[in-house]
Chains A and B, each alone.
Chain A
Amino acid sequence: MSLTPLASLPRLLRPWCWIFLLLIGTSSALSAAELKVNEARIRLLPGDIPAAGYFTLANTSEANITLIGANSTAFGDVTMHRSVNQDGVASMQPVAQLELAAGEQIEFAPRGYHLMLMKRTRALAIGDDIEVTLLFANERQQSVMFRAVSPTTQ
């Protein structure tokens, strides 16, 4: 018995099967291109005072995606939060996950969703590019460069 894959298939079908397998193999690369991250920035505060990460995330794919968190080698602790203001009282709520429908865009922006980045593992300066990995359900992830910006950035 031959060990050639697809040997048992009719000769005409074989190329199509190869193409199909190739597409499955490259699907993770395709999905990365189907998420667009823009305006990724970390508003850096001095010392080890927690910083906030902001960005816009667009799901340009045709399937729903679920953001479940983020991590970075520059910080020991990265969490997703949402600021809420109820009757003039501000507080932060932890966000376990965020689902984006196909074509949907979400904004992580001041006074709303943000990453809280704590316990920096190395010195960081304004102007640095800091790699943050966004984590999605189904073990998908995407690395994004965040620019460190001044605390007085609006």
Chain B
Amino acid sequence: MTRWIIPVFVSLWLAGCGEQAWQTKDISELMPPLAFELVDENGNDVNADQFLGKSTLLFFGFTHCPDVCPTTLARLNAATQRMDEATRDDIQVLLVSVDPRRDDAETLRTYTAAFGPQFIGLTGDKEAIDELTHRYRVTYGYGEKDNNGNYDVSHSSAVFAFNDQGEARLLIRDSDPMDAVVADLERLADDA
């Protein structure tokens, strides 16, 4: 009977010592480091290097998105609220609007302020947005205008996470449980 106990203990011990796996999707080998040239919510030209030093969460959305975008941002807010203050301060959330026609700097600033100081709105011209969306292999597109001139914008629903050096680490999806998101973001921030 004791014959199987030792291998079991050894394998448990090895598993415990090995690199702990991420609970959300690991994209370390799949996606390039953070790079962009955009305009921030204060109207300033910015590039990705200016955001190094903190873990960065990147989300593509737009403000005329009453359901999915605020739900995702509220979830990220809730995740960071569960961390201690120092960890929370090591995380920033970049909302890249793929709807620059409606999302000027002031609208973006008003919008991100509703979610917390760590939320920063960015946008740019089509060329700059396309460069970033192609880099992370996501798509966006505009729907037809209704009678009031409103139109929908399709956008990727997942959140990309980068470490403080701008290296790609995680893809966080709607279906990931909150505990998994919090654990991974804490580890991402603490590794910094």
Q: Which of A28-51 contact B (CB under 8 A)?
A: 43, 45-47, 49-51
Q: Does A83 contact B (CB under 8 A)?
A: yes
Residue interface bits A41-69, CB-to-B below 8 A is 1, else 0: 00101110111100000000000000000
Q: Does B16 contact A (CB under 8 A)?
A: no
Query: Contacts of B110 on A, CB cut-off 8 Å?
Result: 46-47, 49
B111 with A90: CB separation less than 8 A: no
Query: Contacts of A117 on B, CB cut-off 8 Å?
Result: 66
- The count of chain B contact residues (Cβ–Cβ below 8 Å) is 35
Query: Contacts of B111 on A, CB cut-off 8 Å?
Result: 45-47, 49
Q: How far is the CA of A89 from the CA of B133 in the complex (A)?
A: 12
Closest to B116 in A: A152
Chain A interface, >50% SS class: strand
Query: Contacts of B64 on A, CB cut-off 8 Å?
Result: 49-50
A50-B64, A52-B66 are contacts. A152–B74 as well, Cβ < 8 Å? yes
Q: How many A-B pairs fall under 8 Å by CB? A: 98
B66 with A88: CB separation less than 8 A: no
Q: Does B174 contact A (CB under 8 A)?
A: yes
B114 with A114: CB separation less than 8 A: no
Q: Does B51 contact A (CB under 8 A)?
A: no
Q: Does A127 contact B (CB under 8 A)?
A: no
A151 with B67: CB separation less than 8 A: no
Residue interface bits B10-30, CB-to-A below 8 A is 1, else 0: 000000000000000000000
Query: Contacts of B156 on A, CB cut-off 8 Å?
Result: 88-90
Residues of chain A having any CB pair with chain B under 8 Å: 43, 45-47, 49-52, 77, 79, 81, 83, 85, 88-94, 110-112, 114, 116-118, 150-154
Residues of chain B having any CB pair with chain A under 8 Å: 63-68, 70-71, 73-75, 77-78, 107, 110-111, 113-116, 138-139, 143, 146, 148, 150, 152-158, 173-174
Given contacts A91-B153, A91-B155, 10 further A-B contacts (CB under 8 A): A43-B66, A47-B107, A49-B110, A50-B64, A51-B66, A85-B68, A88-B156, A92-B65, A111-B71, A117-B66
